[in-house]
Amino acid sequence: MTTTTAGVLFALSLVAALVAVHKPFGDYLYRVVAGTRHARVERVVYRLVGVDPAAGQTWGVYARAVLAFSAVSILFLYAFQRVQNHLWLSLGFAPVVPHGAWNTAVSFVTNTNWQWYSGESTMGHLVQMAGLAVQNFVSAAVGIAVAVALVRGFARGRTGELGNFWVDLTRIALRVLLPVAVLGALVLMLGGVVQNLSAGTDVTTLTGAAQTITGGPVASQEVIKELGTNGGGFYNVNSAHPFENPTAWTNWLEIFLLLAIPFSLPRVFGRMVGQNRQGYAIAAVMAILAVASVALTNVFELAGHGTVPQAVGAALEGKEVRFGVSDSATFAAATTLTSTGAVNSFHDSYTALGGMMPLVNMMLGEVAPGGVGSGLYGMLVLAVITVFVAGLMVGRTPEYVGKKIGAREIKLASLYFLVTPALVLAGTAAAFATGNNSTALNAGPHGLSEVLYAFTSASNNNGSAFAGITVGTPWWNTALGLCMLLGRFLPIIFVLALAGSLARQVPTPTTGGTLPTHRPLFVGMVVGVTVILVALTFLPALALGPLAEGL
């Protein structure tokens, strides 16, 4: 069997598995977020935090709850790192430097998990487990909660209420992320992922509860790293390390886990708005973009463009021989199409055009299928922009699933889309203007790509890196921390404001002049709008970086 054939079969098996779980897993997620009964442990949580689970929240209250929870989380995590030398299981590590503690606290609370440090030589076990790992769960749950709030905005009418953030957060963490993490951990243990508390075998992505159930941190943390689309890892080589990702089939499982929830959430959208075909349309857009990305990344890497790859017959630099070129390229595409940031090979070593694809995936807004929750609400914002463009072309007031898209809605959608490009391009320009690009390993177009990748990853809350740039300086930790913070919470505010505006509307009945948003034509339009918007925004930067290098 040739490498290309094996890579195609690997990708097709992933597609088949994701199609198989889309409906049952999506229906389960729908029951979790739409149900009215509260489990006993959930009622205990509500009493402890003083929350009335029956009380609804307007978009402003919901947003304040998200921001307050995240602010407290950042402060706690920062303090935790600064005093880790006094804590149990510190492994003798010194306190994390202030600018590094700030960057890490923001990184994990924003679901980015960008790491300027090597976990095995910087963080003790308690900080990893009770600090970083807890955020791996709750930051992912926050993303899903915001997506559900936006869907409620489409599904509801004549109301200002979008649900209750504290109820959504608790249910998603306890009923979705934790159970699947435990089950997945058991499977990974069978595959050889180490599961103990000895120094040097921890990977930083699970709550203490799942560790207790499964006997230790490693396998469980590896699952939630992928399931919650978190890229943080104890080892600097991340999922290329045999303790984290031992075999080809564990590699397959990790890719499946990082795609399962984002690809199932469109089913929740369809169920909640009462039109399953709307969910299928959104899933189709995600699938088209994802398949195109995986295919192009594989083509560019298998072709081995460049003097050395052509001489040796393959682009194997920076790739694990256990996975090979194709499976590594598929992992790279999947981890940047989502907001995972985990890597099983080093993107800095990819060919010029192969390395461009992870960049493009993030520049798309990570909507194919995107991060847990953030992918769905990003795609729905693009759908809103698409129906607005279509309405302009035919001279009709744009509508989407029974809601009119007026001036307020399109302004919020536009602001959502503009936040990340502004942060990426301004941050990259600032690095060069202040001379901080000198920390890049390379000069010329590749050096530009390294800097551009860092800001793209941080602003999109991805967390992966080209790995050819030193970012552990005060300037880089501060700048990237600001990008992660603003790139996470400004879009969330705009999304929740959009949800509140939609929820207050009176539903508009479908007429003969309504644009069908469940048919192939609309799917193609959303794909086109997504690609065109990204090309118009980022093509000049790509032309100076990976495209120039490729030429």
pLDDT of residue 312: 62
pLDDT of residue 199: 36
The more confidently predicted of residues 204 and 375 is 375
For 125-156, what is each residue's pLDDT tens digit?
Answer: 888 888 888 998 899 999 999 999 999 999 99
pLDDT of residue 200: 34
For 196-219, what is each residue's pLDDT tens digit?
Answer: 554 333 333 333 333 333 334 455
* Other Cβ atoms within 10 Å of 193 Cβ, number: 26
pLDDT value at 307 more than 70: no
pLDDT value at 60 more than 60: yes
Confidence of residue 231 (pLDDT cuts 50, 70, 90): low
Residues ≥6 apart with Cβ < 8 Å to 479 = 427, 430, 431, 436, 455
Query: What separation in angstroms does the CA of 220 have from each of 181, 198, 217?
Result: 6, 15, 6
For 94-134, what is each residue's pLDDT tens digit?
Answer: 999 999 999 999 999 999 988 888 777 788 888 888 888 89
pLDDT of residue 430: 96
In sequence order, which ranges of 304-442 are alpha helices (DSSP H)? 307-312, 324-337, 352-363, 374-394, 407-433
pLDDT of residue 77: 95
Query: What separation in angstroms does the CA of 306 have from each of 348, 407, 446?
Result: 14, 49, 13
Mean pLDDT of the chain: 88
Written as one string, the DSSP assignment of 136-198 is HHHHHHHHHHHHHHHHHHHH--S--B---HHHHHHHHIIIIIHHHHHHHHHHHHHTT---S-S
Chain-centroid distance, C-alpha 176: 17
Tell me the C-alpha distance between 251 and 258, whole Å: 11
